[in-house]
Amino acid sequence: MRWSRYFLPTLKEDPAEAETASHRLMLRAGLIRKLSSGIYNLLPLGLRASRKVENIVREEMNRIGGIEILMPVLSPAELWMESGRWHVYGKELMRVRDRHDRFFALGPTHEEVVTDIVRKEVRSYRQLPLILYQIQTKFRDELRPRFGVVRAREFIMKDAYSFHRDEKSLAETYDKMYEAYTRIFTRCGLKFGPVEADSGAIGGDVTHEFMVFAETGESQVLACECGYAATSDTAEGKVPQYRPDEKQKPLEKVATPGMKTVEEVTSYLGKQPWQLLKTIIYNADGQFIGVLIRGDRQINEIKLKRVLNAVELRMADAAEIEKITGGPLGFSGPVGLEGLRLLADRSLEGMVNMVTGANEVDAHYVNVNLGRDFTVKEFYDLSIASEGDLCTRCGRPLRVWRGIEVGQIFKLGTKYSQAMKATFLDEDGKENPFVMGCYGIGITRTVAAAIEQNNDTDGISWPIGIAPFEVLILPTNVTNPELSQTAENIYSELHARGLEVLLDDRDERPGNKFKDADLIGIPFRVTVGEKGAREGIVELRRRKTGEIQRIPKQEAVETVTAVVNKEKSEATVS
């Protein structure tokens, strides 16, 4: 490709809206352009990287016996009603209506559609196991789209679905997928970790997320030296307990003028945050509930939703709180709230003489005791595990790291096949529901995650496996016929040898060309400069390390081919 004839609009300045390195660099290096909130155009360089990821994914899916299909983006509401997800998916499901007033979903995932295919076409256990996959555009109406293509409303995904006669066969395919995912992200040049996760709206029991290590990642992972690793949505840690060895003191109401937050109240009363009992009122699918948790802990709303089996969960607003408790926001407490369903986090077990809101303005109770002053029947793990909580497997402290989720694999069991009456005949001629698994990879998100992990102050530094081009040829002055000709020769010979080469044939100042070269981050750069030309030398520079090799002009093609192929073979997984 010749840069002068290509479509590669780079930006000199950092775009203001970009919060993360990948978002900023994808815009600056001309990979993407925003069309609307959470909706992006993939420009040629971005598309090439994205296709590289797709091809790696395709090869690895085919290697484990996956068969590629393409399902429609639009799927009829009836299918989603059969599975129950037309309701359960909530507002993230994009819905459209056709001219006959029939409703459709813009697919965020395709369990319903693929189950419909298989229930119509697969009859016998002899046809199992079956792995079908597609690489396609997906939709999710995110509340807060951000970080460019990382949390977008439209994105490219690989989604695979497996059908089995029993759990044992599913477990075998799940393990193969786990290995395939490990190969895929290794080939993409990523540093990642598989972690236990929440299955969310997809459903099912066992699930792993593949998380790319990144400071700016939205996902928080808690990990232990013993190998346990889980997202903060699901991670369980033993909360360090405070069991004050003191007798119950008489309940007392105290004035706390204007003190609403945990910090304000506890410091005003000369207490520690863990001595306070927070009471948070939620609305879960239309019902109000109260959640009690220790003052130094945060509620994990995903765990809470799972305990309640709720679809929509939101915090009550100030007016609702006033109506339910009789007091304003910031002064809620469990004493006297008999009418409200109360759930308590396990961090409150064994606590005595706690501080709580008194359900009236500017007042708190001190020396509140569970069992004496209020009762709770429901105790659950409802808190976000945090650094220093103890591993439930081995007792060592958990450590926190952040990441971007690029893939997830699920064991679905018979959730969809039972709901949609998808069955096959076994050896005895008996009907059984298919046992299913599903397996996703965010293609565009993987590109962003790779950039998040591979960049420096000058720009992107692509891993060879997914680089849009492998080699950039940069003649410093195209008006010099000798330089121009040398560059052209190297370009066409490398191209003939099957390398992916970009020739910067623009008539630009060398400074600008070097800046753009670093920004777009092609792994190898061949500089054809005036001084070198006089000596019959070209320079080979490695983007990642900045390391420069001076090569005689006539050896350039051989050397560059060898270096690139070596790098590629090292990035391949056998």
Residue ranges in contact with Zn ion by CB under 5 A: 224, 226, 228, 391, 393-394
Torsion region of 310: left, alpha or beta (phi above 0 gives left; psi -120 to 50 gives alpha): beta
Contact 15, 27 (CB under 8 A): yes
Which residue lies nearer to Zn ion by CB, 220 or 417? Answer: 220
How near is the Cβ of 390 to Zn ion at its closest, in Å?
Answer: 8
Nearer to Zn ion, 35 or 226 (CB): 226
Q: Which is nearer to Zn ion, 181 or 228 (CB)?
A: 228
> What minimum distance in Å lies between the beta carbon of 223 and Zn ion?
9
Q: What is the distance between the alpha carbons of residues 181 and 354, in angstroms, rounded to a whole number?
A: 48
Backbone φ, ψ for residue 346 (5° rounding): -60, -15
Question: At which residue do the structure tokens 């808690």 appear?
Answer: 222
| Shortest distance, position 396 Cβ to Zn ion, whole Å | 5
Q: Indicate the residue among 399 and 402 with the shorter CB distance to Zn ion.
A: 399
161 phi/psi in degrees, rounded to 5: -135, 135
Nearest to 524 by CA among 476, 465, 464: 464
CA 346, CA 364: separation in Å to the nearest integer?
22
Q: Which is nearer to Zn ion, 146 or 399 (CB)?
A: 399
Whole-number minimum distance, CB 395 to Zn ion, in Å? 7
Q: Which is nearer to Zn ion, 253 or 393 (CB)?
A: 393
Least Cβ distance, residue 211 to Zn ion (angstroms)? 18
The DSSP code sequence of 152-217 is -SEEEEEEEEEEESSHHHHHHHHHHHHHHHHHHHHHTT--EEEEE---GGG--S-EEEEEEE-TT-
Q: Minimum distance from CB of 193 to Zn ion (Å)?
A: 15
Q: Which is nearer to Zn ion, 21 or 398 (CB)?
A: 398
Distance CA 185, CA 168 (A): 26
Least distance to Zn ion from the beta carbon of 391, Å? Answer: 3
What is the rounded distance in angstroms from the CA atom of residue 389 to the CA atom of residue 19? Answer: 30
**Nearest-approach distance from CB 226 to Zn ion, in angstroms:** 3
What is the closest distance, in whole angstroms, from the C-beta atom of residue 398 to Zn ion in the complex?
A: 8
Q: In sequence order, which residues have a C-beta less than 8 Å from that of residue 574 and are 6 or more positions away? A: none
Q: What dihedral do alpha carbons 408, 413, 419, 423 form, nearest 10°? A: 120
Residues 6+ apart with CB under 8 A from 419: 82, 83, 84
Nearest to Zn ion of 321, 391 (CB atom): 391
Nearer to Zn ion, 107 or 237 (CB): 237
Q: Distance between CA atoms of 309 and 285, rounded to whole angstroms? A: 9
For 301, the 3-state DSSP assignment is helix
